[in-house]
Copies of this chain bind each other. A is one copy, B any other.
């Protein structure tokens, strides 16, 4: 998977820096969903000087290339990032514990994209999240922020 990402970057004319390698390593090592800060924490173990800016810049690049997805959450510790190993899909986000879970599909069809493209507007992408409450946060009263949803 790592080589696949590096090849994608090379193929688009991007350079492979040691920081970039470390960020990709962290993305792949940090669990399914990671925050920018979590990536930084991992990267700092080998590259103490990297800045959050570099993490965000690389995440943006990987998102442009379609290799990473950003899940918008109401969490205090920021949005979640995910390496797209499978295809595009949408997510459930629990409003109590803040964790995300992948849906195996995305309800937006290509016909929706075309319908959306009115008045000469060309649709290139979309962002969709479902918000609500996961099973654990419904049954255990107010969620405590752990043992909830999928990692």
Main secondary structure of the interface of A (DSSP, over half): mixed
Would you give the shortest CB distance from A18 to chain B, in whole angstroms? 29
Q: Is A135 an interface residue (CB 8 A)?
A: yes
Q: Which residues of B contact A128 (CB under 8 A)?
A: 108, 126-128
How far, in whole Å, are A137 and B113 apart by their CA atoms in the complex? 18
Q: Is A124 an interface residue (CB 8 A)?
A: yes
Interface size on A, residues (CB 8 A): 36
How far, in whole Å, are A105 and B111 apart by their CA atoms in the complex? 13
Question: Within A95-151, which residues are at the interface with B (CB < 8 Å)?
Answer: 95, 101, 103, 105, 107-109, 112-113, 115-135, 138, 149
Q: Is A80 an interface residue (CB 8 A)?
A: no
Q: Is A23 an interface residue (CB 8 A)?
A: no
State the A residues within 8 Å of B (CB).
Answer: 72, 90, 92, 94-95, 101, 103, 105, 107-109, 112-113, 115-135, 138, 149
